[in-house]
Structure 1
Amino acid sequence: MEEPEVHSHHHGGHSGHRWFDITASVCAMVVSFASLYLAIHHGHVMQEMAEANARMVTATSWPQVSYSTSNTDVTGQFTRLRFSLTNKGVGPARIEGMEVSYEGKPVQSVQDLLKTCCSTGGKPSGLAWRLSTANGEILRPGEEKDFLQLDKSANEELWARVNDLPGKVTVKACYCSVFDECWVTDSRAKKAAKVKACPTDWAQYGD
């Protein structure tokens, strides 16, 4: 009589030694967790690097526009009153809007300003001005833009009133960076305020 065949059962992945199998399983889990941690950490590092690069690009493109006045000409004589915007930042500034007020009341042009401050109507006699609107202009870093120049009049009384303008005029300008980040600079404030978008309710100052 033939003896029945005896089939041995092989369990894949098992050595037959219980503690060895447990140790191998634990090691595999540790390696898996370590790989997962390294992948997550690498993702965080890459994200931080991307954010740092974005901040660096933004910082090197940051504009800073300020308002100033002067009552001297290029020779230092007190013969010209200038109203200026200057970009003191490191990136270009796009001027999106301006509001000029005299004693708290917005004016929309140089004629309106001079009529309000210094004359009963029309252009004050003997007073010459140069006007260059800043709206829509792009100021390079370090560039100064005179948006109004008034030359000294032969009429001393009139010039005295004109020369007193800086103390009674307030200027607000909204400007944006190349990344469409926007700020409002106000001659009454110490620093510009960041805004989501330039105001649309200003009495725009222009020609």
Structure 2
Amino acid sequence: MARKPSRFRLRFETVGSITAIVVGVAALYVSWDQARVMRAQQHASVLPAIQIDGFQTRDGEMASIGLRIRNAGVGPAIVSSVALTRLDQPSEDIAPITALLPDGSNLSWSTMIGRVIAAGETVEAISFYWPADALSAEQSAELATEWTSWDVSVCYCSVFERCWIAETRGVGAGARNVPACPAPDYDLFERIGAQGL
């Protein structure tokens, strides 16, 4: 006649099985949490941060106004689109600025769409320059006022395809997350450059 297992043994096996299940679930959670933390660290290690700065300078015999785009982040920024607004209205025609520039002014621009801006790199997207004595103080002030009525937004993504729009307009201008960047048919600064002065 076979002996029945003792109640103590049944309880021990049951407790052992439950303990193994609990340990397995805990190990699974720890693995998931570590993977989540590692993904967050990877994204943070290549986080771009675009800053848009307009400038007005007078350097010796030359004066200029323009726009610089800088990546102040720790990873590359892939520029997808650029948009201009004047007095809160979308615009691609910079005639209000060029009309105030003196004869003999020059235009310099850089292609931005598809450009990869490395961490710490600055790109001078567009600049106008002219002989410093070609404008009176009143004309220079009028040009400066017109220049500040323009705003720029740049949509860019990280290498992990997380995207942001950096803006110069509004209170607290900066960058905000977006699901994706629009894909334009043309490069805005290239189009402005083609128009010339």
TM-score calculated relative to the size of structure 2: 0.83
Provide the rounded CA distance (Å) in 1 between the counterparts of 2:184 and 2:123. Answer: 24
Establish whether residue 134 from structure 1 lines up as the match of residue 112 from structure 2. Answer: yes
Residues 142 and 69 of structure 1: CA distance in aligned 2, closer, same or farther (over 3 Å): same
* Runs (4+) off by over 4 Å: 75-78, 157-160, 200-204
Deviation at residue 136 of structure 1 after TM alignment: 1.3
Provide the rounded CA distance (Å) in 2 between the counterparts of 1:30 and 1:204. Answer: 68
Provide the rounded CA distance (Å) in 2 between the counterparts of 1:76 and 1:125. Answer: 19
Deviation at residue 118 of structure 1 after TM alignment: 4.2
Query: Which structure's CA Rg is the greater one?
Result: 1
Provide the rounded CA distance (Å) in 1 between the counterparts of 2:44 and 2:124. Answer: 26
Establish whether residue 100 from structure 1 lines up as the match of residue 100 from structure 2. Answer: no
Structure 1: state its 5+ residue gaps: 1-8, 16-20
Instruction: Report what 1:85 is aligned to.
Output: 69
Aligned equivalent of 2:155, options 168, 174, 194:
174
Structure 2: state its 5+ residue gaps: 191-197
Aligned ranges 1:106-117 → 2 under 5 Å: 106-108=90-92, 112-113=93-94, 115-117=95-97
Instruction: Report what 1:119 is aligned to.
Output: 99
Residues 203 and 90 of structure 1: CA distance in aligned 2, closer, same or farther (over 3 Å): same
Establish whether residue 185 from structure 1 lines up as the match of residue 162 from structure 2. Answer: no
Which SS does the other structure have where 1:117 is aligned? Answer: helix
Establish whether residue 71 from structure 1 lines up as the match of residue 52 from structure 2. Answer: no
- What per-residue deviation string (whole Å, max 9, x for no partner) do you get for residues 28-72 of structure 1? 100100011001100100111111111001101100001102212
> CA RMSD for the aligned pairs?
2.6
Provide the rounded CA distance (Å) in 2 between the counterparts of 1:86 and 1:206. Answer: 16
Provide the rounded CA distance (Å) in 1 between the counterparts of 2:83 and 2:188. Answer: 5
- What per-residue deviation string (whole Å, max 9, x for no partner) do you get for residues 166-186 of structure 1? 311100100000000000011
Deviation at residue 205 of structure 1 after TM alignment: 2.0
Which SS does the other structure have where 1:27 is aligned? Answer: helix
- The structure where strand makes up a greater share of residues is 2
Which SS does the other structure have where 1:72 is aligned? Answer: strand
Residues 190 and 77 of structure 1: CA distance in aligned 2, closer, same or farther (over 3 Å): farther
How many pairs does the alignment contain?
Answer: 185
Does the Cα contact within 8 Å between 2:48 and 2:72 map onto a contact in 1? yes
Residues 118 and 150 of structure 1: CA distance in aligned 2, closer, same or farther (over 3 Å): closer
Aligned equivalent of 2:46, options 61, 71, 75:
61
Establish whether residue 31 from structure 1 lines up as the match of residue 31 from structure 2. Answer: no
Which SS does the other structure have where 2:20 is aligned? Answer: helix
Does the Cα contact within 8 Å between 2:81 and 2:184 map onto a contact in 1? no
- What per-residue deviation string (whole Å, max 9, x for no partner) do you get for residues 77-115 of structure 1? 87121211110100100000000122233333xxx31x1
- Identity among equivalent pairs (%): 22
Does the Cα contact within 8 Å between 2:125 and 2:189 map onto a contact in 1? no
Does the Cα contact within 8 Å between 2:52 and 2:168 map onto a contact in 1? yes
